[in-house]
Structure 1
Amino acid sequence: MAGSLAQLVASPADLVKVQMQAEGRRVLQGLPPRCTNLKQAYAKIYTESGLLGFFRGSLPNMQRAALVNMGDLAAYDYTKKLLINDFGMPDSTSVHACAALIAGLTAAILGTPADLIKTRLMNQPVGPNGRGLRYAGMVDCFRQSVKNEGILSLYNGFIPNWLRMGPWALINWVVFENIMIAVGEKTF
C-alpha cells in the first residue's frame, strides 16, 4: 500500500519524465519537440487534459509499484529463509546478495507488464477532450498490446528494467542487512 500511495503522489512527475524521454524519438524522426523543458511539459499536459491529466497512467503506475515491492520483499524473504533453513547457509553477506539478486529478478518479472502499460498510457496522444486517443484505459491497452503484438510484448523493456532493479535490490538489501547487524538489531 505504501508503494502504491507513494507512486500516486509521484505520478505527475513520472508522466512528465516519460513524455520528455519520448521527445528524443520525435527529434530523431525529424519532428519538432512538443516541449523542451519541465515548465513546457507541465503546461502542455495541463492545457491538453487539465489537472486530472497529470494522473494519466497512475493506476498501472500504482500497480507496478505494488507488484515491484511485493515481489522484492517476498522473494528476498523467501530466498533468504530457503538458503539458511534448507541449505544450511549462514546468515551472511553472500546469502543476502543471492537473495537480493533473486528479489530484483522477481520484481522485474512482476513489474514489467504494468510498467509497459503505464508508459504506453502516458505516451499516447490525447484528443481535445483530454482523453487518450489510442487506449480507452489500462485494460484496453493490455488487450491491444497482447492482441497486436503477442503476450511477450508485455515484457518489452524487461532486460533494462532488470538491469535497473537487480543492482538496486543488491545494494539495498546488503546495505540494510549490514546496518541492522552493525546496530545490533535483527536482520530481515
Structure 2
Amino acid sequence: METRAMKDFISGGIGGIFMIVIGQPLDTIKVRLQTQSNRPHGRSPMYKGMVDCAVKSIRSEGVRGLFKGMLTPMLMITPITALYFSGFGLAKKLQQRRPGDELTTSQLFKAGMFSSLVAMVFLVPVERIKCTLQVQQSGGRGRMVMYCGPMDCVRQFYREAGISEFTKALSQHY
C-alpha cells in the first residue's frame, strides 16, 4: 500500500475509534428518542427529552447501557473510516490530470460523494445492528432481550430474512 493511502487508512481508523467512544452515549440517547413509540390516547412518551432519557437509561441499565451496540461500530469503524479517507484520496487522484493539480470545488464534491458510496455498503448494515441493540432494553422487570450481541443479531436477521434484511437497510437508508 502506498504511503499516502496508508496514512489515510491509519488516520481514518484512529479518528473513527475516538468518534465512537466519545459519541456513543449521545448516539444511544438519540436513537432511543427517535425510536420511542407514540403512546395512544394522550399518554406521555417514555422519555420527555435528552436528559430524561439519559437519567432513565442510567437508572435502569447503569452507565454501561449508554454504550449498548458499541462493539459492532468499534470493530468496523477503522475499515469504514479508512474507506472514506481512501475513497476520497482515490477519487481525487483519478480526477487529476497530473499529480499535485488543484481540484475544483465540483471535483472535491464528486470525490466526497464517491467516498460515501464506497463506505455506505459497510456502514448501513453496521448502523442497523447498532441501533437494534441500542433500543433493546436490558432484561429484568419482564423485559425480554431478543439479541445477545452483534453476532446473535446478525444470525437472527439472516435466519429471518436472509441477506435481503441488510439490502433492505441499504434501500431504506438512502
Who is 1:175 aligned against? none
Who is 1:21 aligned against? 34
Who is 2:9 aligned against? none
Partner of residue 146 from structure 2, selected from 93, 116, 134: 134
- 1:137 and 1:29 map into 2 onto residues whose CA distance is 31
Contact conserved, 1:11 with 1:54, CA < 8 A, in 2? yes
- Answer yes or no: is 1:3 the counterpart of 2:16: yes
Who is 2:10 aligned against? none
117-126 or 61-70, larger mean C-alpha shift:
61-70
> Where in structure 2 are the equivalents of 1:7-156 lying within 5 Å?
7-23=20-36, 26-27=37-38, 33-84=45-96, 91-93=102-104, 94-128=106-140, 133-156=145-168
Number of residue pairs matched? 157
CA deviations over 1:22-65 (Å, ceiling 9, x no partner): 11xx1176775221112221122112211211111111233454
Contact conserved, 1:71 with 1:110, CA < 8 A, in 2? no
The sequence identity of aligned pairs, in percent, is 24
- 2:40 and 2:116 map into 1 onto residues whose CA distance is 35
Return the offset for 1:150.
1.8
CA deviations over 1:80-134 (Å, ceiling 9, x no partner): 2223269x9x6422332222211111122221111010000001132129x9701
Distance of aligned partners of 1:32 and 1:150 in 2 relative to their CA distance in 1, 3 Å threshold: farther
* Bigger helix share: 1
- 1:83 and 1:101 map into 2 onto residues whose CA distance is 13
TM-score of the aligned structures, taking structure 1 as reference length = 0.71
**CA RMSD in angstroms, aligned pairs only:** 2.7
Unaligned residue ranges in structure 1 (runs of 5+)? 163-188
Contact conserved, 1:64 with 1:115, CA < 8 A, in 2? no
